[in-house]
Structure 1
Amino acid sequence: MTKILVTTDLSSASKAGIRFALQLASQQETELIFFHCFQALIPTTVHQGRIETALKRQTKSTLHKLERFISSAIRTSRYKPGKYRCAVLEDLSPDSAILQYARESEVDYICISTRGAGELMKFMGTHTSKVIEKSTIPVVVVPHTYRSKKVDRVLYASDLGEVEKELNVVSRTAQNLEASVDLVHFYYSADEKMEAEVNFPRWQKKFPLLQRLRMESHNLNDDFAHQMERNVQKLTPGLVVFFTHPKTGWFNKWFSPN
């Protein structure tokens, strides 16, 4: 069973992540954990001995608020989840709280909504980017404009550095969703393009869900975000996958020109 941590700040924009998680749960056996991080509001005049009691009261109240929010979102969805639960954690840093709870719960994915519409780079500088940079768990970022749609095609963007290792992960995800995989690569030279085209039949044989190779010349005057955005609009996949590397800032590697 796949376990997904679905984060929400209880805003209407965060319902996109909930809708996407419910969509995934309709395509595979899934346990959903709806998670909310909050900051306790305790007056400085409260006696030290009563702080713990006040925190427990606010935690209980926040959990009830989250449960009502999720129940409302589920009622308006066409999909009803099987196994799910709600959880809250008091912390001053939402990204740290998300990562901590995800590790402790041993989830397979973290699902986060973003208010950024279009141009993948628009969620930079948010808690989302911090989670992506620090997480060892795959992070699913859902634009707030998302509407429920079956995930039947996965678009995998790769620099081809560790393509077979990454395709192992992508193929498992696609198999669970009964989806096909398209690979897109932005090349710098004709030799690089030719090498990928020569290797593609071998990759297809090893990973049967891999259907198409899309090769595009890398535009040095443009960044990855804009180039990927155009491919997403053209191919309309249900899920876009790319990998970050711990030794290279994901912003510099994927979103900057050159």
Structure 2
Amino acid sequence: MEKILVPTDFSNNSKSGLRFAIRLAARNKSTLVFVHTTQIKRELKEADEAEFEKHKQEQIEKKRDKLQRFIQGVYRSLKMDEGEYTCEIIEGIKADVSLIDYCKKYSDIAFIVISTRGASFVNKVLGTNTGNLITKSPVPVIAVPKDYRSKPLRNVLYSTDLENLQREFDTVLEFAKPRGLSVEVLHFATPSSLDHQNELNNLELTAGYPVKIWKEKADINHSMIHNLQLQIDKIKPSMVALFTNQQRTFFEKLFLSSMAEALSFKSQVPLLVFNKQVNFKN
């Protein structure tokens, strides 16, 4: 059975991701793994390893109990019966690194659902947990705005540059179909994409599933993120799906921020981000 990893720091901001994950899991009976990352510090320097290990396990159990109560409170607020889930405490200094290591250890994790809080310029450069997961995670990430209000899930808007169109569309369809979501495809036409227009035109005929095609002309006076946000506001999708290239140099990451990462700080709808390299490495 598919598992969805859902991190929380016990804050109110994190609840939007929890609520979205709970509703998403209910659509196809996914198992949720709620996690909290922490670092257990030695309280007494003279404590031996056995004493410290005992202390550490006690602290982990306390935090697991707190996590359990926190999750039960979210279910009660949604007025939903509790689905299948587990609560895990992960030790680590950095939450994003710990979550990625956890996904590498447990290959049955299909998605990470995490709230995004927005970020200042400094935080965007240094990275946030959500931004770092989007640019580094081998597992698809669903970034949920902190002020997102739960709405019925109807459709996924997949924005494409037409590179690997069929394989990317199939990946989005694999997510949407078992959840009963229709798929809409958005493309901003450019001179370099003209050769692939027929592939886009044929997609609606060959999909074998409800799909709507949006062809738009990008306003060159604005950034691609601005153009995409305008279409999101117009189409009003339940989710937006993007594929991001994680194989960039440090300077590219610093000055040419991933569109998916940047959009996660602006969008008011959940953003589903796939890693191109993981999905299309063969």
**TM band (smaller chain):** 0.7 to 0.9
The Cα RMSD (Å) is: 2.4
Q: Secondary structure at the match of 1:242?
A: strand
Of residues 231-240 and 243-252 in structure 1, the stretch that sits farther from structure 2 once superposed is 243-252
Deviations 1:123-173 (A, max 9, x none): 842111111111111100000111222221100011111111111110111
Of residues 137-146 and 78-87 in structure 1, the stretch that sits farther from structure 2 once superposed is 78-87
Partner residue in 1 for 2:24: 24
How is 1:1-258 mapped onto 2 (pairs within 5 angstroms)? 1-43=1-43, 45-49=45-49, 50-105=51-106, 106-116=108-118, 124=124, 125-189=127-191, 192=193, 195-196=196-197, 198-248=198-248, 252-254=257-259
Distance in 2 (alpha carbons) for counterparts of 1:169 and 1:229: 22
Distance in 1 (alpha carbons) for counterparts of 2:122 and 2:113: 17
Given that 1:22 and 1:80 are in contact with CA atoms closer than 8 Å, whether structure 2 keeps it comes out as no
Of residues 91-100 and 199-208 in structure 1, the stretch that sits farther from structure 2 once superposed is 199-208
| C-alpha spacing 1:201/1:219, structure 2 compared with 1 (3 Å) | closer
Identity of aligned residues (%): 30
Deviation of 1:10 after TM superposition, in Å, equals 0.7
Deviation of 1:223 after TM superposition, in Å, equals 2.5
Distance in 1 (alpha carbons) for counterparts of 2:43 and 2:90: 19
Between the two proteins, the alignment pairs up a number of residues equal to 251
Q: Secondary structure at the match of 1:10?
A: coil
Q: Which runs of 4+ in 1 moved over 6 A?
A: none
| C-alpha spacing 1:53/1:221, structure 2 compared with 1 (3 Å) | farther
Given that 1:185 and 1:215 are in contact with CA atoms closer than 8 Å, whether structure 2 keeps it comes out as yes
Where do 5+ consecutive residues of structure 2 fail to align? 263-282
| C-alpha spacing 1:122/1:31, structure 2 compared with 1 (3 Å) | farther
Where do 5+ consecutive residues of structure 1 fail to align? none
Given that 2:162 and 2:196 are in contact with CA atoms closer than 8 Å, whether structure 1 keeps it comes out as no
Distance in 1 (alpha carbons) for counterparts of 2:215 and 2:118: 27
| C-alpha spacing 1:142/1:235, structure 2 compared with 1 (3 Å) | same
Q: Supply the AA of the counterpart residue of 1:207.
A: A
Given that 2:184 and 2:211 are in contact with CA atoms closer than 8 Å, whether structure 1 keeps it comes out as yes
Distance in 2 (alpha carbons) for counterparts of 1:203 and 1:122: 41
Structure 2 length normalisation: TM-score? 0.81
| C-alpha spacing 1:48/1:219, structure 2 compared with 1 (3 Å) | farther
Of residues 224-233 and 125-134 in structure 1, the stretch that sits farther from structure 2 once superposed is 224-233
Q: Supply the AA of the counterpart residue of 2:142.
A: V
